[in-house]
Amino acid sequence: AGIISEEECSSMIDGLRKVAQEWRSGTFEIKQGDEDIHTANERRLGELIGKAAGKLHTGRSRNDQVATDVRLWMKEEVESMRA
């Protein structure tokens, strides 16, 4: 507890919403140094909110991030099939 302050959390959420909007609008810029989508998102978040972005994956491995992404994608796909 106390790893991410309320201010950092709020900043991260706002920043991630901006990153998501950039992806949706096609304006997100992938840069040569980005290893994958996770590092690209964290890099962009850092550009938007500063060093607090480095806490984005605190306590989560890359494998955890990928597993979460797959679950979220699958949930959206299932919901779209129901519509």
Can you state the percent helix, strand and coil of the chain, rounding each to 5? 70, 0, 30
Tens-binned pLDDT, residue by residue, of the chain (83 aa) = 688 999 999 999 999 999 999 999 999 999 999 998 888 999 999 999 999 998 887 777 878 878 888 898 899 999 999 87
Q: Tell me what pLDDT residue 58 has.
A: 78
Angle between helices 37-49 and 6-25 (to 10 degrees): 120
Evaluate whether 38 touches 79 at the Cβ level (below 8 Å).
Answer: no
